[in-house]
């Protein structure tokens, strides 16, 4: 089967699939690790895969797409305007025409690829372009647009909601990554929907859990926003450091690097020396980092799934996260302590509990690894998706 995967992909995360590639390939796009895990597993199972993504490093005035391929894998990168509303390289902002340029280029790339079926991720420009291709399409819903707009009320998220509404109303086949998503977008579509969680790469499950010599509390946040609530997490970690000065606190993700938003917050609150700022990293760097954590603190107010949570579970890292934060309780299960992440005292108490209660800590380690292996392994997820592809193609 020739499967098309369309969604946000970082070139840095797939270099292992291209043993001899030019250093001049555009690499600005911040991608989603779950797509890499899915692509790897589909290739392992003998399928041909073409992936389609946008790339801000490509000039919108240039070719519709750039193709890089090796063996059974092909990557199509199309231009992405860097600005939502302001002009960029002679073109108006991408939200002003609802990503029309990007959708056109994606559609052109899809038509050139010869794929049998398309698997689109998120309900925005990627799914819209997939629908316009007139190929069999499965759309995986990774978020709840109304919830995001409520937590991040701005014109850009309003535009995203409009795009999602259009996509979902036309959708014929949908999957969702958690029961939370099913509940939140049920009113926005008429299609059948299956729950298939996000996949984890096999190498995470090979990690041997050993007692860590250094105590590291880590946060991996996708952006500095009210929704991700990173400032609350940093405030609590500052208090924890007063009680446990031997602890190290590591921050990863966009906005969490030196001179970025988290760094600026720490400077303003006179606690720069308490944190280590690693910022955005390739997926392999994140996987290597999370294995060293003693605890993952995830203060997000809302998650539709939360890949970082599942990754921590797979490598035996207990979690402190939100009991009211969307899909978080469903993903975490008994792999950590769930609290009100808007209450600093509750977060602090949960961290201290895991650090001081060895029995509780061990239970979270074992429960997390078991749940991750049983539910989130890439092999199990890919097999479920392949059945969906076959059904969609048969009904086209």
The per-residue pLDDT for 240 is: 97
The per-residue pLDDT for 208 is: 77
**Mean pLDDT for the chain overall:** 95
Q: Is the pLDDT of residue 120 over 80?
A: yes
Q: Is the pLDDT of residue 314 over 80?
A: yes
* pLDDT, average across residues 273-291: 93
Confidence of residue 27 (pLDDT cuts 50, 70, 90): confident
* pLDDT, average across residues 166-178: 97
Report if pTM > 0.75: yes
The per-residue pLDDT for 364 is: 97
Q: Is the pLDDT of residue 137 over 90?
A: yes
What does DSSP say about strands 192-195 and 173-176: parallel, antiparallel, or unpaired? parallel
The per-residue pLDDT for 366 is: 96
Q: Which residue ranges does the chain devote to CATH 3.40.50.2000?
A: 2-199+377-395, 203-375
| DSSP 8-state assignment for residue 97 | G
**What is the three-class DSSP state of 130?**
helix
Tens-digit pLDDT profile for residues 324-366: 999 999 999 999 999 999 999 999 999 999 999 999 999 999 9
Confidence of residue 277 (pLDDT cuts 50, 70, 90): very high
The per-residue pLDDT for 171 is: 97
* pLDDT, average across residues 11-22: 87
CATH level 2 (architecture), domain 2-199+377-395: 3-Layer(aba) Sandwich (3.40)
Confidence of residue 21 (pLDDT cuts 50, 70, 90): confident
Tens-digit pLDDT profile for residues 39-76: 999 999 999 999 999 999 999 999 999 999 999 999 99
* pLDDT, average across residues 303-318: 96
Class of domain 203-375: alpha beta
Higher pLDDT, 229 or 206: 229
Three-state secondary structure string covering 165-230: HHHHHHCCEEEECCHHHHHHHHHHCCCEEEECCCCECHHHHHCCCCCCCCCEEEEECCCCCCCCCH
The per-residue pLDDT for 311 is: 96
Rounded CA gap, 151 and 14, in Å? 32
* pLDDT, average across residues 137-159: 95
The per-residue pLDDT for 215 is: 95
Tens-digit pLDDT profile for residues 188-218: 999 989 999 999 998 898 877 777 889 999 9
The per-residue pLDDT for 207 is: 79
Confidence of residue 23 (pLDDT cuts 50, 70, 90): confident
The two structure tokens encoding residue 238: 């500052």
* pLDDT, average across residues 31-36: 92
**What is the three-class DSSP state of 89?**
coil
Side-chain-side CA neighbours of residue 100 (13 Å): 5
Tens-digit pLDDT profile for residues 250-261: 999 999 999 999
* pLDDT, average across residues 141-151: 94
């Amino acid at each position: 089967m020739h499967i098309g995967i369309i969604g946000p992909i970082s070139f840095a995360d797939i270099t292992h699939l291209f043993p001899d590639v030019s250093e001049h390939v555009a690499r600005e796009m911040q991608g989603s690790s779950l797509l890499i895990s899915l692509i790897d597993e589909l290739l392992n199972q003998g399928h041909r895969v073409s992936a389609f993504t946008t790339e801000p490093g490509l000039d919108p005035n240039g070719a519709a797409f750039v193709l890089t391929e090796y063996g059974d894998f092909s990557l199509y990168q199309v231009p992405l305007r860097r600005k939502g509303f302001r002009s960029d390289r002679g073109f108006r902002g991408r939200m002003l025409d609802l990503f029309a340029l990007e959708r056109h280029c994606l559609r052109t790339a899809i038509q050139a690829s010869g794929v049998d079926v398309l698997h689109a991720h998120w309900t925005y420009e990627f799914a819209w372009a997939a629908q316009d291709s007139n190929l069999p399409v499965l759309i995986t819903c990774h978020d709840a647009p109304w919830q995001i707009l409520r937590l991040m009320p701005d014109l850009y998220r309003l535009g995203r909601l409009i795009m999602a509404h259009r996509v979902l109303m036309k959708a014929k086949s949908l999957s969702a990554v958690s029961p939370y998503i099913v509940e939140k977008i049920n009113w926005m579509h008429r299609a059948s929907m299956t729950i298939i969680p996000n996949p984890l790469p096999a190498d995470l499950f090979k990690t041997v859990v050993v007692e860590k010599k250094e105590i590291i509390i880590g946060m991996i946040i996708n952006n500095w926003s009210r929704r991700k609530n990173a400032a609350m997490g940093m405030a609590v970690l500052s208090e924890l450091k007063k009680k446990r000065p031997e602890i190290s606190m590591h921050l990863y993700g966009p906005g969490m690097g030196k001179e970025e938003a988290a760094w600026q917050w720490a400077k303003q609150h006179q606690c720069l020396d308490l944190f280590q700022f690693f910022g955005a990293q390739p997926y392999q760097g994140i996987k290597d980092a999370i294995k060293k954590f003693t605890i993952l603190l995830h203060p997000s107010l809302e998650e539709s799934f939360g890949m970082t949570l599942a990754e921590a579970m797979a490598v035996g890292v207990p979690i402190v996260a939100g009991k009211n934060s969307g899909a978080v309780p469903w993903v975490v299960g008994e792999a950590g302590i769930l609290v009100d992440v808007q209450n600093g005292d509750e977060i602090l108490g949960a961290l201290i509990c895991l650090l001081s209660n060895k029995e509780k800590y061990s239970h979270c380690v074992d429960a997390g690894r078991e749940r991750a292996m049983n539910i989130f392994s890439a092999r199990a997820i890919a097999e479920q998706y392949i059945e969906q592809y076959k059904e969609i193609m048969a009904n086209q």
